[in-house]
């Protein structure tokens, strides 16, 4: 299975997650090195965890474009002083970019899990880790309960993507077109959830 279809969305996702990690670092008053570390962890950490579970060289270490995207995004943040703009994470352009990244990473994790012959549980975990693993690593590093565990209809999207793709695979309907349809549908679902402030119930 080739992932050329997701090349652009992968770049968009890395850029959005880099910005997200950087802004969290700003809020916690980290120094320059700390900002770079949390930005890199947020953007690339999920993929590194995924590849570690797959017992292969992390994609971020074997290809140049993930690191290049990270560097370009950090440079842009500094040049345009994006960190001084209030509530940039609430802007629709950022939300859409972040959503595209979330879905792309979820799809990639799911497809790799299926290709590796993982069972139902393994595929779902791989999708979840690829999509939100970087954010969890970041929040753990700054001694904060990961946001995905307490807020927003976010991690649930990764689970929905995995379930839909597993269903397609079971029915032997896995094609580039059907994967694209899943991507578009779940992007729409995530944006509706954000707009309507959907949350999973708490006890």
Token pair recorded at residue 200: 């999973």
C-alpha separations of 111 from 45, 55, 159, 180, 197 in Å: 18, 16, 13, 13, 29
Residue 174 lies in domain: 4-196
Total structural domains within the chain: 1
The span from the CA of 167 to the CA of 171, in Å, is 6
Residue 202 lies in a domain: no
> Could you read off the pLDDT of 111-146 as tens digits, one per residue?
999 999 999 999 999 999 999 999 999 999 988 888
Residue 19 lies in a domain: yes
The span from the CA of 105 to the CA of 9, in Å, is 9
Residue 203 lies in a domain: no
Residue 57 lies in a domain: yes
Residue 201 lies in a domain: no
Q: Residue 1's pLDDT band (boundaries 50, 70, 90)?
A: very low
């Amino acid at each position: 299975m080739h992932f050329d279809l997701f090349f652009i969305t992968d770049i968009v996702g890395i850029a959005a997650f880099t910005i997200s990690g950087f802004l969290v670092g700003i809020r916690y008053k980290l120094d320059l090195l700390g900002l770079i570390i949390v930005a890199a962890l947020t953007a690339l950490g999920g993929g590194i965890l995924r590849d570690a579970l797959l017992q292969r060289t992390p994609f971020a270490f074997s290809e140049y474009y993930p690191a290049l995207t990270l560097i370009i995004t950090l440079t842009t943040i500094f040049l345009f002083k994006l960190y001084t703009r209030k509530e940039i994470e609430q802007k629709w352009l950022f939300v859409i970019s972040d959503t595209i990244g979330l879905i792309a990473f979820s799809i990639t994790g799911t497809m790799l899990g299926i290709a590796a012959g993982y069972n139902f549980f393994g595929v779902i975990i791989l999708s979840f880790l690829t999509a939100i693993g970087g954010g969890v690593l970041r929040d753990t590093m700054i001694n904060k309960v990961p946001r995905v565990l307490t807020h927003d209809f976010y991690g649930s999207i990764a689970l929905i993507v995995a379930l839909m793709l597993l269903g397609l695979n079971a029915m032997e309907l896995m094609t580039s077109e059907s994967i694209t349809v899943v991507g578009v549908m779940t992007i729409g679902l995530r944006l509706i959830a954000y707009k309507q402030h959907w949350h999973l119930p708490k006890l």
